[in-house]
Amino acid sequence: MACSPWFLLAFFVSLCLLRDAHRFCNGDPTEGFTAVPLTEWNFEMEKPYDIPLEERYSFVNGVRRMWVYSSDMPLRPDSKTKPRTEIRIRGYDYSSGTWQFEGYGFVPNGTSGTNIMQVHRATYPATTLMLRVYGGLLTNYVWSVVEPYVYDRWMRVNVIHDVDADKLTVFIDGVQKMEVEGNGPGVFNFKCGVYTQNYSTYYMESRWRDIRILKKDE
């Protein structure tokens, strides 16, 4: 029986992560940061423009569930982007300092080819980090693997963006998994949900709870 390329890649990556586990840093990534106040106003929804929000989003018992189909419309009639149902954190756009996204994310088995969290920029290029799911792998963009298997479990996701140093750090369940350079200055914001990428499944879903935005103490 033939194995899918995603399965083989996941197996290879798992071996590499075990080999290099000593390089990862444990600890509380929110230490030295202060959470900013959030209300429902801060959770701006982006969804296919031609359908009601409740057909692609629910908020029950603290869990924000977002789903989308690859055949859905974009967020605006004039948009050339692919379908999405995303939360865009409103009111805390930033262009300097060190900011952090924290949330607990869940991706059901079968969702693939979608972005579930991104650091978005107001100008080109539109993103500086995209956490995507491909066949159970959590990646930054396509081939930089962050976590080898994320299906059907809650994971604590922390993304720290040091704008002045142009550096982004990703933690999963309190363990540092990746540190990458950004792509220059800009005005940034955080997003999470599902945003269709290449090689997507027809149906995509992610769930989020306990979302916080934090700023590093000065």
pLDDT mean over 50-59 = 98
Task: Decide: 106 and 206 in contact? Cβ < 8 Å.
Answer: yes
Report the alpha-carbon distance of residue 210 to residue 158 in Å, rounded.
12
* pTM recorded for the entire structure: 0.88
Residues 6+ away with beta carbon under 8 Å from 208: 63, 64, 66, 87, 103, 104, 105, 106, 192, 193
From the list 183, 181, 204, the residue with the least C-alpha distance to 192 is: 204
> Is 132 exposed, middle or buried (CB count within 10 Å of its CB: 0-12, 13-18, 19+)?
buried
Query: Looking at domain 33-74+82-216, which CATH architecture does it have?
Result: Sandwich (2.60)
Domain positions in the chain = 33-74+82-216
145 is written with which tokens?
A: 């693997």
What mean pLDDT value characterizes the chain? 91
**Percent of the chain at pLDDT exceeding 70:** 89
> Is 157 exposed, middle or buried (CB count within 10 Å of its CB: 0-12, 13-18, 19+)?
buried
Q: Give the tens place of pLDDT for each residue, 73-93.
A: 999 999 999 999 999 999 999
Q: Give the tens place of pLDDT for each residue, 4-22.
A: 455 445 444 444 443 344 3
Q: Give the tens place of pLDDT for each residue, 100-149.
A: 999 999 999 999 999 999 999 988 889 999 999 999 999 999 989 999 99
